[in-house]
Amino acid sequence: MADTKLYISYNQIHQLIDRAVKNFGLGDNYNPDLIIAIGGGGFIPARILRSFLKAKNGRNIPIQAIGLSLYEELPNAGQNGIPETPGTQVTKTQWLNFGGADTLVSLLGRKILIVDEVDDSRKTLVYAVSELQKDILKQEEQAGIAPGSSNTEIGIFVVYNKEKPKGENLSSEIMHRYYPAATTPDRWLFFPWDCTTDIEEHTELAKKSFGGNTSS
């Protein structure tokens, strides 16, 4: 059976993020002061993105991690030819709470950028935005200010947006700050951090997946 995966290399991700920062004016048109990486696929893109933003503005943007899962926990899913199967419900496995129930990181007045590696069904991104908006509202209430008056903004950066009907929709306000570095067909994307064999071979397969263009 033909291999239908699209192989992605570290070089491709690095080049796409570089190009997206320039094309979208990130750091200028939208200048985040807090990056929230969705684990585990958003961790490496978030770290690369922070470097490019630091090169523009000379400061390290803090990165916070959240854990959300939409994919069914199948043995060896994502490896050895076993595809990850999207589930129907997002599960929160880690959130922005440190040290105790009342030590949530301050979100008020922030320009937040959520980072993930792929926008597939969009359910995970919608869930992340919804939960953040709940936290923002709670913090506004605790601070004694009117809902929505903290001027907190949320944007989204994804390395790949899949061309497909989405299971859920983001608001027009969020979509105004939606930054996909690239768009791909609705196929299984095989990222370099999922590779457990020869990374050099994986990189060569990535070049072939995009016809030799490492930044597609």
Q: Which helix (H) or strand (E) holds 18?
A: helix 10-24
| Active-site residue (options: 120, 135, 186, 198) | 120
- In the annotation, is 120 catalytic? yes
Is residue 194 domain-resident?
Answer: no
Q: Looking at residues 82-100, what average pLDDT do you find? A: 68
Residue 178: both structure tokens together: 């939606």
Is residue 27 domain-resident?
Answer: yes
- Per-residue pLDDT at 69: 82
Residue 146: both structure tokens together: 């009117």
Is residue 180 domain-resident?
Answer: yes
- Per-residue pLDDT at 38: 96
Domain coverage including residue 105: 10-73+84-184
Q: pLDDT (tens digit, 9 = 90+) per residue, 18-58?
A: 999 999 999 999 999 999 999 989 999 999 999 999 999 99
Q: Looking at residues 140-164, what average pLDDT do you find? A: 96
Q: Looking at residues 148-166, what average pLDDT do you find? A: 97
- Per-residue pLDDT at 210: 78
Query: pLDDT at residue 74 above 70?
Result: no
Please state, in angstroms and rounded to a whole number, the distance separating the CA atoms of residues 6 and 12.
12
Is residue 3 domain-resident?
Answer: no
Q: Looking at residues 129-154, what average pLDDT do you find? A: 95
- Per-residue pLDDT at 28: 95
Q: Are 50 and 31 in contact (CB under 8 A)?
A: no
Residue 3: both structure tokens together: 């291999």
The CATH number that applies at residue 149 is 3.40.50.2020
Is residue 210 domain-resident?
Answer: no
- Per-residue pLDDT at 216: 47
Q: What is the pTM of this model?
A: 0.88
- Per-residue pLDDT at 124: 94
Query: pLDDT at residue 82 above 70?
Result: no
Q: Looking at residues 133-152, what average pLDDT do you find? A: 95
**Minimal CA–CA distance to 57: which of 86, 87, 32, 74?**
32
Q: pLDDT (tens digit, 9 = 90+) per residue, 93-135?
A: 899 865 455 556 789 999 999 999 999 999 999 999 999 999 9
**Minimal CA–CA distance to 36: which of 128, 115, 91, 134?**
115
**Minimal CA–CA distance to 115: which of 140, 137, 132, 134?**
132
The residue to which tokens 């030819």 are assigned: 81
174/101: higher pLDDT: 174
The count of domains in the chain is 1
Q: Looking at residues 74-97, what average pLDDT do you find? A: 65
Q: Which helix (H) or strand (E) holds 203?
A: helix 199-209
Is residue 176 domain-resident?
Answer: yes
Is residue 44 domain-resident?
Answer: yes
Is residue 133 domain-resident?
Answer: yes
